[in-house]
Amino acid sequence: MTATSETIRPIGIAGATPRRLQSYVMGEWVTGTGRASELFHAVTGEQIGEASTGGIDFKGVVDYAKRVGGPALRRHTFHERALLLKAVAQYLMARKDEFYLVSAATGATKQDSWIDIEGGIGTFFAYASRGRREFPNERFYIDGPAEALSKGGTFVGRHICVPLEGVAVHINAFNFPVWGMLEKLAPTLLAGVPAIVKPATITSYLTEAVFRAMIESRIFPEGAIQLLCGSAGDLLDHLDSQSAVAFTGSATTGKMLKSSRSILEESVRFNMEADSLNYSMLGPDAAPGSEEFDLFIKEVAREMTVKAGQKCTAIRRTFVPEAFLSDVMAALKKRLASVTIGDPAVDGVRMGPLAGRAQVTEVRKSVEAIARANELVFGSLDDFAVVGADRARGAFFPPLLFYSKDPFGSPEAHEIEAFGPVNTVMPYARVDDAIELAKRGKGSLVGSLFTADDRVARDVVLGTAAYHGRLVLINRQSAKESTGHGSPLPHLVHGGPGRAGGGEELGSLRGLGFYLQRTAIAGDKPILEALFNKKPEDAA
Amino acid sequence: MTATSETIRPIGIAGATPRRLQSYVMGEWVTGTGRASELFHAVTGEQIGEASTGGIDFKGVVDYAKRVGGPALRRHTFHERALLLKAVAQYLMARKDEFYLVSAATGATKQDSWIDIEGGIGTFFAYASRGRREFPNERFYIDGPAEALSKGGTFVGRHICVPLEGVAVHINAFNFPVWGMLEKLAPTLLAGVPAIVKPATITSYLTEAVFRAMIESRIFPEGAIQLLCGSAGDLLDHLDSQSAVAFTGSATTGKMLKSSRSILEESVRFNMEADSLNYSMLGPDAAPGSEEFDLFIKEVAREMTVKAGQKCTAIRRTFVPEAFLSDVMAALKKRLASVTIGDPAVDGVRMGPLAGRAQVTEVRKSVEAIARANELVFGSLDDFAVVGADRARGAFFPPLLFYSKDPFGSPEAHEIEAFGPVNTVMPYARVDDAIELAKRGKGSLVGSLFTADDRVARDVVLGTAAYHGRLVLINRQSAKESTGHGSPLPHLVHGGPGRAGGGEELGSLRGLGFYLQRTAIAGDKPILEALFNKKPEDAA
């Protein structure tokens, strides 16, 4: 492991020399030693660099966060920390063009990059604004009203929330190298907890570029954020009971992490976003020709192809009234047929490749499992055109539409998340059946419903809410301003029960709870008033 | 396994014939078959019965809760469920004398039984009242304000909370056979989720008696509550992602349960209250002779002896300014010397036995470990008087006071929870040192501070809050109405980070969150208004 101070250019952009990514730990950029993972350009397949955390002292990284980053953040009030977020967001926004250049190597279209980069920065802005509007200018905040505990009412209770004194470890998925980092950092840093960011290695070069900009801004106090590009090694073993792990990724990895000693023995908090078989449902009223029908077709096709379907919120299961089935199929096929696949740098290309060849193998395996019980009605794994790139070298994958004849009879399409442009259409007879199908996903991040019938909306919302973290209702009135099926927003919780991991992120200030300890304080009324009405500067 | 319909009398009371406890599953009382655990009277040591769940179909129990209990509860609104709690609380209160009789067999004094029995029933009353005051008369509730999601403000988001559609499994500790059951049932049933109650076997005869009364009341809908007296078998293996486990007990058992397949793979929610090394601190201002000093001595001695120290919130570590050390020691010794141990039925007895001989062995082992690094300054494991009972047959244990000369140097007293009348006094030089000592517990349920100095109060509260679920401030003003160090209250959260398990119960409506799914709903403003402003009866 070696430290460097020279200026390092991002990899992935045209003309860059392949190099080993760096990690930012204990106040410096270091290059890991030993065996590295190779990193490839998603479009060209060329190796653009490699990543390793070999030689990094993970215990040292944890200790540094607790010794340097935590105290520095906790010296600030919520308002002050919110202003740090805002300043960093402004700084990153001014440099966003660089990030778009790097993002292209992940196979992202301009639109895909916008979601990742500006969506991520937008989360910082949102928390910066909420933090100042909804938190006090204090180092703790008061949760809920005073509670009279005694008959005479002189002995009272209040709840306060204070930052955990450990470290937050963020283990992010490969599909949103920027948003994934920033959506977790925003609530964490606003809460006053230092973070160690561990991006998925495959796209970590983009994370490194944005992280480097944050360090160059010198806005966050030293130790507030650290970065590991490469394996997380034995990092989790060094966490203690004041720490928290937020994980986004596969259920398999999640289960392994959850079984870590520190999680089981030290009650380290663990938040997980994992596999999710999100649904979209066409209402029984939304017949072909209705505006809701057209909106539905557009959204399903878009959700399949944005980010080449590599979104944990993408529509995987599409519920359609039996009577409209053939119309839906025809309309979806037509729309998907118009999607040009290729190098997003080429004009007219609507969908780029997956993030890497390893993903192609992975998604192919899932698709083959789904195909065993469902009929492929659009697309071909082996026969599709690619524009402006070599199909054999890039990580291209075609949109595939399946049809499940008997959705109650076969579990595959409810259980296998093919993390690419893959979707299964399922007919339903009655709304109650569609609700039952939604639950077969055993817990998902999001469901959406296209209907103009408020009664159907209510039935579906109350019928499927327990199994979903977010539900979106779209009709002709809302279409113009709708934020769509797939977009997590800083204001709304992001996460889902069961298979989706049981986690909860974002949701405005709700997302901070994971990084705060809520403590009940009981005492004489005057002493509680003295404690909590004083400004921190008065009391220091 | 055999079912019976005859009237069954509680065991433990004078003249009762020893029998095998029953479980209430799938709508009937059944007696488990096969090997049973023996149950003993804590005072006399006589066998009073036995318990086994042999032959019970645990998968059937889970399915029954989901198929019968869940839908029945979810048909009610929050207000209706609150009224059920109130009716059951009134019913139990009218029969409380029976429960006191059974409780005596656990070794409880009248005061101990009051905490357990009336404290438990009080939790039902509290939730009944809060449920009607703070929830809508609906089957869901709206969490937080509407969020404008679009520029024009027509697309908005709201969060609703709905009951989980699985089952709650409550695994309770032996020390509060009634309160432990009722404090978990109150938020669960108010949330609309059916429960399976699994009391610690050793005192489950008292739980059985109270549970039987609840069933006899016929107030809760069938399937809402089931009871398992004996082993939980493979119960947890049958839980799915809509279920939740609330566990109170040892860290060792907790770790085992947390590693269950369903918890790791199905994201079954898991709430844990485990070992806790709670502290009480005497402020540097509270010199001998001050009211705070006297209040402190009284509370520490009381916390050691109430329930014979078998309270997860009892004071285990006592922080004292160095200068007051000898005065504190002398005062505590004097007070402890006046505690009469014996059969609580005998006049003048202040402290009963532990819950059973197995507990004596267990606590003795912990005490021996603490004694290796700390000096025993009051009490003797082998030399203490017992009034009105045979010391060799009952589960008696003497109050023991340890002194830790070098509290920073030896971890034992910070880490070993001797679950009996055992406490370690630790001197401190500066308030900051005492705060540091508090953290050595690595997360506790509760800390308390005796001071008249608001500056000290603020430092200790903000200094130790991150490591505690509850903090209590006591001074001469609050003394009269103080609810004390050790009492969890329905209004305040109960739980602590780290070693204490990382769980959170009670805290008024906060305790319901564990049994509800929070879901973000996004849509056009008018449709959200239509969904959420309608009364459920209008929409059905």
Q: What's the pLDDT at B4? A: 58
Amino acid at B29: W
Whether the Cβ atoms of residue A438 and residue A279 lie closer than 8 Å to each other: yes
Nearest residue of A to residue B519, measured between CA atoms: A469
Please determine, for residue A23, whether its predicted confidence score (pLDDT) is greater than 90.
yes
Chain A residues within 8 A of B489 when measuring between CB atoms: 149, 157, 522
Alpha carbon of A466: minimum distance to chain B alpha carbons (Å)? 5
pLDDT average, residue stretch B133-145:
92
Q: Closest to B267 (Cβ–Cβ): which among A163, A501, A520?
A: A501
Task: Label the pairing between strands A195-198 and A225-227.
Answer: parallel
- The per-residue pLDDT for range A473-519, each reduced to its tens digit, is 999 988 888 889 999 999 999 999 999 999 999 998 999 999 999 99
Which entry of B98, B292, B312, B504 is annotated as an active-site residue?
A: B312
Tell me whether residues A140 and B462 touch, CB distance under 8 A.
yes
Half-sphere exposure of A66 (CA within 13 A, CB side): 18
Runs of H (alpha helix) within A338-392: 357-371
- The per-residue pLDDT for range B450-470, each reduced to its tens digit, is 999 999 999 999 999 999 999
Q: What's the pLDDT at A530? A: 83
Chain A residues within 8 A of B519 when measuring between CB atoms: 465-466, 468-471, 493
Please determine, for residue B324, whether its predicted confidence score (pLDDT) is greater than 50.
yes
Tell me whether residues A272 and B269 touch, CB distance under 8 A.
no
Helices A204-217 and A179-191 pack at an angle, to 10 degrees, of: 40
- The per-residue pLDDT for range B76-100, each reduced to its tens digit, is 999 999 999 999 999 999 999 999 9
Residue B230, sorted as left (phi over 0), alpha (psi -120 to 50) or beta, turns out to be: left
Alpha carbon of B461: minimum distance to chain A alpha carbons (Å)? 8
Nearest residue of B to residue A493, measured between CA atoms: B520
Chain B residues within 8 A of A191 when measuring between CB atoms: none
Alpha carbon of A216: minimum distance to chain B alpha carbons (Å)? 32
Q: Closest to A522 (Cβ–Cβ): which among B149, B483, B497?
A: B483
pLDDT average, residue stretch A383-401:
96
Amino acid at B364: R
- The per-residue pLDDT for range A49-79, each reduced to its tens digit, is 999 999 999 999 999 999 999 999 999 999 9
Which entry of B98, B183, B273, B292 is annotated as an active-site residue?
A: B273
Q: Closest to A155 (Cβ–Cβ): which among B159, B241, B482?
A: B482
Per the prediction, chain B carries an average pLDDT of 94
Q: What's the pLDDT at A538? A: 37
Whether the Cβ atoms of residue B158 and residue B142 lie closer than 8 Å to each other: yes
Whether the Cβ atoms of residue A352 and residue A342 lie closer than 8 Å to each other: yes
Percent of chain A with pLDDT over 90: 88
Rounded Cα distance, A336 and A304, in Å: 9
Please determine, for residue B53, whether its predicted confidence score (pLDDT) is greater than 70.
yes
| Active-site residue list of A | 273, 312
Task: Label the pairing between strands A155-163 and A516-524.
Answer: antiparallel
Q: What's the pLDDT at A531? A: 84
Tell me whether residues B242 and A498 touch, CB distance under 8 A.
yes
Identify from A499, A524, A535 which residue to disrupt to test chain B contact, counting B C-beta atoms within 10 A and taking the largest count: A524
Task: Label the pairing between strands A47-51 and A19-20.
Answer: parallel
Q: What's the pLDDT at A537? A: 37
Q: What's the pLDDT at B1? A: 58
Q: What's the pLDDT at B538? A: 37
pLDDT band at B59 (very low <50, low <70, confident <90, very high): very high
Tell me whether residues A469 and B519 touch, CB distance under 8 A.
yes
pLDDT average, residue stretch B118-123:
97
Please determine, for residue A534, whether its predicted confidence score (pLDDT) is greater than 80.
no
The residue ranges of DSSP E strands in B32-98, in sequence order, are 37-40, 47-51
Half-sphere exposure of A28 (CA within 13 A, CB side): 12
Alpha carbon of B539: minimum distance to chain A alpha carbons (Å)? 8
Q: What's the pLDDT at B537? A: 37
Q: What phi and psi, each to the nearest 5 degrees, are found at residue B342?
A: 165, -155
pLDDT average, residue stretch A270-278:
94
Q: What's the pLDDT at A514? A: 96
Please determine, for residue A3, whether its predicted confidence score (pLDDT) is greater than 80.
no
Please determine, for residue A448, whether its predicted confidence score (pLDDT) is greater than 90.
yes
Please determine, for residue B535, whether its predicted confidence score (pLDDT) is greater than 70.
no
Q: Closest to B520 (Cβ–Cβ): which among A265, A493, A520?
A: A493
Nearest residue of B to residue A474, measured between CA atoms: B523
- The per-residue pLDDT for range A311-360, each reduced to its tens digit, is 999 999 999 999 999 999 999 999 999 999 999 999 999 999 999 999 99
Told to judge if B412 belongs to the known catalytic residues of this protein, a careful annotator would answer no
Per the prediction, chain A carries an average pLDDT of 94
Tell me whether residues B272 and A267 touch, CB distance under 8 A.
yes
pLDDT band at A6 (very low <50, low <70, confident <90, very high): low
Nearest residue of A to residue B465, measured between CA atoms: A519
Identify from A138, A267, A506 which residue to disrupt to test chain B contact, counting B C-beta atoms within 10 A and taking the largest count: A267
Whether the Cβ atoms of residue B209 and residue B148 lie closer than 8 Å to each other: no
Nearest residue of B to residue A519, measured between CA atoms: B469
Cα-Cα-Cα-Cα torsion A251, A256, A259, A262, nearest 10 degrees, comes to -110
Nearest residue of A to residue B265, measured between CA atoms: A255
Closest alpha carbon to A77 in A190, A242, A170: A190
Tokens of residue B194, six digits = 């059916």
Q: Closest to A267 (Cβ–Cβ): which among B471, B497, B519?
A: B497
pLDDT band at A404 (very low <50, low <70, confident <90, very high): very high
Which helix (H) or strand (E) is B450 found in, with range? strand B444-450
Q: Closest to A522 (Cβ–Cβ): which among B151, B458, B473?
A: B473
- Confidence (pTM): 0.95
Residues contacting residue A421 through CB under 8 Å, at least 6 positions apart: A304, A305, A308, A309, A351, A397, A398, A399, A400
Tell me whether residues B139 and A462 touch, CB distance under 8 A.
yes
Residue B199: Cβ within 10 Å count: 29
Tell me whether residues A155 and B523 touch, CB distance under 8 A.
no
Tell me whether residues B140 and A522 touch, CB distance under 8 A.
no
Identify from A77, A138, A483, A527 which residue to disrupt to test chain B contact, counting B C-beta atoms within 10 A and taking the largest count: A527
- The per-residue pLDDT for range B196-223, each reduced to its tens digit, is 999 999 999 999 999 999 999 999 999 9
